[in-house]
Amino acid sequence: MAHLLRRAGFGATPYEMDRALSMGYQAVLDDLLNPDHPDVIPDDLIRRYHVDQSDLRSGGGAHWVYRLVMTDTPLREKICLFWHRVFATGTTKLIQNRVVTNQIDMFREHGMGRFDDLLVELSRDPAMIMWLDNQDNHGSNINENYGREILELFSMGVGNYSEDDIKETARAFTGWRVVNPDYMSIRMRNNTARPYGYMSWQFEYDDDDHDDGEKIILGQKGKWNGEDAVRIICEQDATARFVSRHLYHFFVADELPVPQWPHEDPKDPEAIDVLCRSYFENDHDIGAMLRTLFESDFFKDGGSRYARIKSPSEMVIGTMRLAGPIDLPSEETYMADAACANMGQALMRPPSVEGWQGGTEWINTGAYVERVNFAGRILNDPDKQGVRDIIDRIKALSGQSTITSDELVDNCLEVLGPLEVLDTTRHGLKNYASKFGDMKWSDESLSSEFDRAAVAIIQLVVSSQEYQTI
Amino acid sequence: MTTTTFGLKYVTNVGFAADFGGRGFSLPSSMAIRADGVIFVVSRGKSSTKNSNGIQMVTKDHDFLGQIGTYGAGLGGMMWPTSVVLDSDENLYLADEYFNKVTKYDREGNPITEWGTKGSGDGQFNQPSGLLIQDRLMYVVDSRNNRIQMYSLDGNFVGQWGSGGDGEGEFNLPWGISDDSEGNIYVADWRNDRIQKFDSNGNYISAIGGGKTSVLDRPSDVAVDPDGNIYVTDWGSQCLLVLDQPGNILETKRGEADLSPWSVEYLSSQDDERKARESFVPVYKADTEDPSEVSARMEPYFWDPVAVELDQDGTVYVLETGRHRFQIFERI
């Protein structure tokens, strides 16, 4: 169960784990895939009390961090992170955060639906159009950028299409642009909010600018428009394999970086076959593929546990959720967004159109120090609701009003996950905890002393290498 | 007291996105109009460009007169300013919901004193928003404490009323505040979607809106003209509404700003933007019904209208956070 909640969410607080265990694996999975309640993010409060997040000129990452921390539909948010990594779109070029936030909203709505629908929405997405210059893709003069990337990065991968397919696909998407394309392009290029602030963009199809001629895309001939191109792409085996490998990479185990996929077999070819079959048997439905994945032996097997390095966002959000709910966006959410960036994953600012590769890319000396410092800072206060709950459960697990230093470590690992650690790690933690000796909380002074000891161990646990994996 | 016919016409707008300070505003949150026509607009700015904080002084004729205050924690400084108001001596008062304080500036803009700390006790605030001065008494909307506090103009606590809830005299994150010519006080009870009317001692009189079928949607501010007409910046619907005392809507404005002289001047120095703007369609059919997103796309529309003020001639000023300007309307 803990494995599922780590991968399909951001880990579980002790309360969430209790609830999940009482529901059972299948019911929890059903709830993750098909939450029967809307997310309860108070957008009006955010917009009023965090004004710069209303126009979202900047602060898009912090805005999303708040939602990620507070959501009670974690898989829906996780799938947004997934697609953000695959369809990497950045404010670095687009200048404003609002349109990327709107794109994330679109992932929230379509991210677990049919891949065909998602790709059509992506192709209509104003941020994507401007990101890959499709406003410059005219019937009389094509711009191949989006045609290339939808095949290479978003659906099939290198080696499964020709240069002609790129051109023909680009032709299918001519006329797909934003309203006021010239003015919006120049404002973006000039990086200006003048005279009256940024303007959000809207998709517009210009039939007069569309190349209505016959095209051959992946061997199919017709007067294809963008929706037809997406249909043809989604029928391909290569697309099923590409999506499957991405899902495996994100939810099961770290794979090789995407650019190596054309040359290297998947880590688990049978798992990819299972996911491909699910893709075709379920009409390209991503939610159905996720169900297949989370119900599979290759996911439930011990081999996939802790087989991925946490992305910065997973590490940051999971830790913040452990610390407890936050009332409204705060300086903490801005700091968390900055921390993700310092660890190598600036949300809404991917390094390139290829997004983040993940895996060992996430860890280097500087990033690790940032992780340790961040987790220690977030979990440093025994009066935070989540930390208090963890401490109370550590006490409760002891079954009495005293605890040994060894029990403190064991209980802490149990409550924070449970987190499976190497013997050497456990030994190191116990060695450190031994300086506290046996502890009691029978009066205020002893209780306060125990709180400090517990917080110290919690901070050490979240500094461990095991906590960096998922 | 109410009129039977009512109309407003757009006149002009004053504003410009001044992200880095200078002529214009940055995420303005409040405005006050002095008798001599000087308009004080508070820019909340954004955290990454701190020099955009301040109280800008302008006129409705597009004169930019300078700035009072700046980002900072010291006396006269601000971080998240929410409201500005003038007293009869033309001193200026500013509420700040980050520092939970009210700062008093003299007529020349020198900070004189400040009061308030975070909390829920007498003289404490939890994110103060609207300010009103009536008969040498200041009313402070203490938004997250769901109450109205009263102070002398030197910051001495006088009294309070209100608590959290949706009953009469209760509040859910109130925002703006104003009064009418008879001294009654109107509070934009933001998250209860209503305007509540009180006497000057805080005794409940009536309300407009509220409940699931409310005519109002997250009202942010209110003003009342001598005829008793009630002007509401309806932040949720992104409109200016004018209502009579029973709550009938007399006028709805979505905003219709054109290019202000400051904007024309800017574009005159930007050939590429000016030329591209020749084919610019400012208002078109949106593919969303979310008023905030529509406002984000349509430049002439109000985007997060947060304050409505009336001058002594009855001219109406609507301040928009998202578009860094205020639009001016006159009665027709």
What would the pLDDT profile of A57-104 be if each residue is shown by its tens digit?
777 898 899 999 999 999 999 999 999 999 999 999 999 899 999 999
Partner residue opposite B322 with nearest CB, options A179, A190, A197: A197
B5 has a pLDDT exceeding 60: yes
Tell how far CA B40 is from the center of its chain: 11
For residue A101, which residues of chain B lie inside 8 Å, CB to CB? none
Partner residue opposite A55 with nearest CB, options B80, B296, B325: B296
How close, in Å, is residue B155 to chain A by CA atoms?
25
Partner residue opposite B259 with nearest CB, options A45, A48, A195: A195
* Percent of chain B's residues with pLDDT above 90: 93
For residue B276, which residues of chain A lie inside 8 Å, CB to CB? 182-183, 185-186
Answer whether A328 touches B (CB < 8 Å): no
Please tell me the predicted confidence (pLDDT) of residue A302.
Answer: 78
- The DSSP H or E segment spanning B82 is strand B81-86
For residue A182, which residues of chain B lie inside 8 Å, CB to CB? 276, 279
Distance from C-alpha of A268 to C-alpha of A245, rounded to nearest angstrom: 9
Distance from C-alpha of A326 to C-alpha of B95, rounded to nearest angstrom: 24
B1 has a pLDDT exceeding 60: no
Predicted complex: ipTM over 0.90: yes
> Which has more pLDDT, A115 or A40?
A115
B97 has a pLDDT exceeding 60: yes
Residue of B nearest to A335 (CA): B47
Please tell me the predicted confidence (pLDDT) of residue B70.
Answer: 87
What would the pLDDT profile of A109-148 be if each residue is shown by its tens digit?
999 999 999 999 999 999 999 999 999 999 999 999 999 9
CB contact under 8 A, B47 and A202: no
For residue B293, which residues of chain A lie inside 8 Å, CB to CB? 102, 200
For residue A50, which residues of chain B lie inside 8 Å, CB to CB? none
Please tell me the predicted confidence (pLDDT) of residue A216.
Answer: 98
Distance from C-alpha of A189 to C-alpha of A316, rounded to nearest angstrom: 33
Question: Which residue shows structure tokens 């027709």?
Answer: B332
C-alpha torsion angle, residues A435, A436, A438, A439 (rounded to 10): 180
Backbone phi, psi, residue B102, to 5°: -115, 130
Distance from C-alpha of B215 to C-alpha of B235, rounded to nearest angstrom: 12
For residue A59, which residues of chain B lie inside 8 Å, CB to CB? 46-47
Please tell me the predicted confidence (pLDDT) of residue A249.
Answer: 94
Cα of first residue to Cα of last residue in chain B, in angstroms, is 18
Residue A15 pLDDT grade (very low, low, confident, very high; cuts 50, 70, 90): confident
- Mean pLDDT value across residues A453-462: 95
Please tell me the predicted confidence (pLDDT) of residue B244.
Answer: 97
B48 has a pLDDT exceeding 70: no
- Mean pLDDT value across residues A152-166: 97
How close, in Å, is residue B182 to chain A by CA atoms?
31
Please tell me the predicted confidence (pLDDT) of residue A323.
Answer: 93
How close, in Å, is residue A52 to chain B by CA atoms?
6
CB contact under 8 A, A190 and B273: yes
Specify the length of chain B in residues. Answer: 332
Residue A401 pLDDT grade (very low, low, confident, very high; cuts 50, 70, 90): confident
Map B166-231 to HEC letters.
Answer: CCCCEECCCCCEEECCCCCEEEEEHHHCEEEEECCCCCEEEEEECCCCCCCCCEEEEEECCCCCEE
A 90-149 near B (Cβ less than 8 A): 98, 102
CB contact under 8 A, B17 and A49: no
Please tell me the predicted confidence (pLDDT) of residue A330.
Answer: 73
- Mean pLDDT value across residues A347-375: 91
How close, in Å, is residue A106 to chain B by CA atoms?
13
Residue B86 pLDDT grade (very low, low, confident, very high; cuts 50, 70, 90): very high
Answer whether A463 touches B (CB < 8 Å): no
Please tell me the predicted confidence (pLDDT) of residue A43.
Answer: 86
A53 has a pLDDT exceeding 80: no
Domains of chain B in sequence order: 8-331 (2.120.10.30)
